Amino acid sequence: MKISVLAAGLWAASTLAAPASFNSVSLVRRSEDELGSLVLAVKAQDDINDPDDLTVASTVINTGNTTLKLLNDPNGPLSTWKTHTFEFYEVPVGGSRKRATGSTAGVHAVRVKYNPDVAASLSNPNAYTVLKPGENKTVVHDLSGMYNFQTTGAYEVRTTTNAEWFRVVKDDGSVGYVKAKIYDGAEAANWTATHISESGTFASMRGLISAGIPSHLLARRWEEGSGLAKRVLYNNCSAIQEKDILHGVAGANSYITQSIQFLANSYYLGNSRYRTWFGPYEKKRWDTVARHFAMLHGQPPRFRYDCSCTEEDTFAYVYPNQFGTVYLCGAFWRAPVMGKDSRAGTIIHEATHFTSIAGTDDYAYGHEEAQKLAINFPDQAIMNADSHEYFAENDPQLV
């Protein structure tokens, strides 16, 4: 599976091309070419006999002239988190892999709250990857339990559009973006090709039970007993952590109640608070946001909070289809109880990811990206977890 340094050298001399595609990310982020140049290559398994034993390797190469400090974004190729970083496209019979436009394999991925500015401020070397000119980094991704394939036959693996964007820590500590070029040399078609055998299992039999990072325990099934659902539950938490969680839960409840009241009483076009995070008024979108907050009402005290995650650059994560357990990570404990990127807001962020509540995604992280998303893509903003969190936190205050 590992790709050699020799191959990396060949890539630098090959013709490189990024696939043309229209997506929201290109308008939310702006590639700063002066920061550097990156190439991204992906190599799949040759054959997949079992989706519960599936790996993909990704290699990032610094083809520029300057050293780059890249954040290990949980949604990108430099991280081993089991997020939605890769797509498997079915190749039509007799079709070209280059034009694979068939149905995609179903994916079950974790949802992670991550703030690039917070990560960039850390001195922890696990939060970033440093690549000097000509250097490369290969990461092998364990995708077991994530994908359900509809049919046997040929598939092509690609990174998602989001995963082509790398966050670069600048000299002043701020974060910029470089869009990687996708390797398109002679070997690329073979590297990205894989095959589901006739004897293969199409669907995962065990589902997603690991976040993909070694410091985490396996996910526990949510216990729905009537007695447990009425109080906050904890896994692997100290007494101090339990107290911090209770404060966050109380803050989340307060934010949710305030948001519901605001949406009920501020039904007009000039609402700057709504417009900032969800875009211009449109009744269907407004109603969707109001429904999400109504579904959140009373939920935070019913969750189980797991403190086993130790990732310093991450706030929290959930398994969207496993309702009720919120995994809290290192950045959560450093966050304020209330306010911007708070513990209370983190709980709301993660709660919206549950499919039974809102089923949100992470289209944009942080204030700046979320505001741009609202301007350019309001339909995605109303399904973005950070947008809900920032609307609820309302810091700085908008009316």
Per DSSP, the three-state class of 360 is coil
DSSP 127-155: GEEEE-TT-EEEEEEE-TTTEE-SSSEEE
Quickly count: other Cβ atoms within 10 Å of residue 303's Cβ. Answer: 23
Residue environment code for 3-36, b if the CB has 16+ CB neighbours within 10 A, otherwise e: beeebbeebbebebeeeeeeebbeebbeeeeebb
**Joined tokens for residue 255:** 């934010």
Distances (CA, A) of 29 to 32, 102, 184, 371, 391: 9, 28, 23, 11, 21
For 361, counting Cβ atoms within 10 Å of its Cβ (0-12 exposed, 13-18 middle, 19+ buried), the class is middle
Farthest-apart Cα atoms in the chain, separation: 64
Residue from 212, 202, 210 nearest 155 by CA: 202
What tokens does 124 get? 């922890």
**Cα 214 to Cα 203: distance, rounded to the nearest angstrom:** 24
CB 366 within 8 A of CB 388: no
3-state helix, strand, coil in the chain (%, to 5): 30, 20, 45
Q: Are 212 and 72 in contact (CB under 8 A)?
A: no
Q: Which of 90, 164, 311, 350 is catalytic?
A: 350
CB atoms within 10 A of CB 129: 19
Told to judge if 164 belongs to the known catalytic residues of this protein, a careful annotator would answer no
Per the CB < 8 A criterion, the answer to whether 134 and 97 are in contact is no
Residues involved in catalysis: 350
